[in-house]
Structures are given as C-alpha cells and as structure tokens.
Amino acid sequence: MNTNSLETAMKEIKAIIQPHMLSKVMRALHELPHFPGVTVTPVRGQGRGRGAGGAFKVTEDGIDYHNKVMLDVYCSETKAGEIAETILKAAHTGLEGDGLIVVADIDRVSRIRTGEVQDRAV
C-alpha cells in the first residue's frame, strides 16, 4: 500500500444544478487542464420553501420536490476555486433554482486500488 504524505490540503465540492445544465457543466469541467473527475447523482429537493424569494407548493404528498443533479468533486485546495467557479459559470441561467455549490475541507482521500492518498488519489 502506498503511504503518500497527507500534506496536500483537499477539498470536496458539492454542486446541485439543474439537470438540463449537466452537459454544459461537464464540457466546461473537461476543458480544465487538471480536472480530477466527478460523481454525478440524480437528486430531488426543495429550495427555500415559504421564505423570502422561495416558493412552496402544497401537493397531495405535502411538498413539491424538484429534480436536480448533484456533482461531487474531490480535489486539491489549489484547484478547488477554479473548479467551483467553472461550475458556477456553466450552470448559471439567472433563474430561480439554478442550484448551489458547497466547498468543504476533506481530511483524507484514498484510492482503494493503489493506496494513493490526497491529490495523487484523484
């Protein structure tokens, strides 16, 4: 097992976007010189609800959920800003429901097959 140093600070980027923007976002991400990859998951959710600027629609189930796509990207701290900005620009329509991007610290990333850790793992 490879025991690489854990010196490289890592980030997790979670982006919830409109499903119809996925192709545009993926094309933009693949244009980056060192894009580490992405996990894409179909998700459903409800935004701000009854708060200012939000919408709440009662249905027989109680809440009207909206279909979205969630992207998960793990990358070095040095690449996180560029990746998050690329997603923001590519997913932006200016309409309600464009989505959300969250960038968080990650303690450790390990590639199961090789044992590589941190930036070498992605």
Q: What is the pLDDT along the chain (122 residues), one digit of tens a residue?
A: 444 455 789 999 999 999 999 999 999 999 999 899 999 999 998 877 654 555 555 555 566 789 999 999 999 999 999 999 999 999 999 998 999 999 999 999 999 999 999 988 88
Sequence-ordered strand ranges (E) for the chain? 10-17, 39-45, 66-76, 99-106
Task: Please choose, from the candidates 37, 33, 26, the residue with its C-alpha nearest in 3D space to the C-alpha of residue 75.
Answer: 37
In DSSP terms, 10 is beta-bridged to 76, 106
Look up the CATH number of domain 10-121. 3.30.70.120
pTM: 0.82
In DSSP terms, 76 is beta-bridged to 10
Query: Side-chain half-sphere of 87: how many Cα atoms within 13 Å?
Result: 26
**Residue 35 to residue 6: CA distance in whole angstroms:** 20
